Every structure is written in C-alpha cells, then in structure tokens.
Amino acid sequence: MRRRTSVPLLVPLLACALAFATPLVSSCTTKRKTTTTTETIEYPAGSTLPDGALAEEDTTVTITRETNTTEEKEASCGGVLSCTVKFTWAVIKLPFKIVGFVLDVLI
C-alpha cells in the first residue's frame, strides 16, 4: 500500500498565505515633505542689495525659503485577486530570472 504525502495540502495553504500577505506588501502611499531653508547674507557698505538699493552701512539680510515636495506612489494593482496573481507570478518567475542572470554572467 502506498502512503500519500501532504504535498497537495501545501498548495492551498500557500495560496491562502499569498492572498492574505499581498495586500500588506503592496500599498499605496503619498509622501509630503516640507523643507525650510534659512540663509543669512551679509552685505558690506557700498554693495548692492537684492532689491537693487545701495547699502549705506553693513547690512544683514535673512532669506527664508520653504520647499514642498510630494511623491505619490501609484497603486500597483486593482484589488486583492489581481495583487495575488501578480505577486504569485513574480514568485514563480524569480528562479528563472536568477538562472538567466547567472547564465548571462557566465556566457
């Protein structure tokens, strides 16, 4: 009598694990960053100020600049099923990419 292995049970468990892990891995985020730069410039007497006037005595001008940057990351997939399929396909093709890379380096 032949004994059955538990390999067929592994496939559905792996599929369930991928279905629950994929939304956690791929998320849509937006980053906003504000950078404030303060610069102090000293102008000696007789030099021209930024507004075009002539400095009669030593003058210190403080310039403050704020820069806002926004980075938006697009959603990589539309839903749980499509994310799961994309993630599963990436896992399946990873060994082939590694073998292709190794062959490319060797040849």
Asked whether residue 78 is domain-assigned, the answer is: yes
Asked whether residue 73 is domain-assigned, the answer is: yes
pTM over 0.85: no
Asked whether residue 87 is domain-assigned, the answer is: yes
Range of the domain at 61: 17-106
Could you give the CA distance from residue 10 to residue 16 in angstroms, rounded to a whole number? 10
pLDDT of the chain along its 107 residues, tens only?
Answer: 555 555 566 666 666 665 666 555 545 556 777 888 888 888 787 888 777 878 778 878 777 778 877 776 665 667 788 888 888 999 999 999 999 999 988 88
Domain tally, the chain: 1
Q: Which residue has the tokens 């538990």?
A: 6
Asked whether residue 97 is domain-assigned, the answer is: yes
Is residue 38 within 8 A of residue 66, CB to CB? The reply is no
Asked whether residue 71 is domain-assigned, the answer is: yes
CA 98 to chain centroid: 24
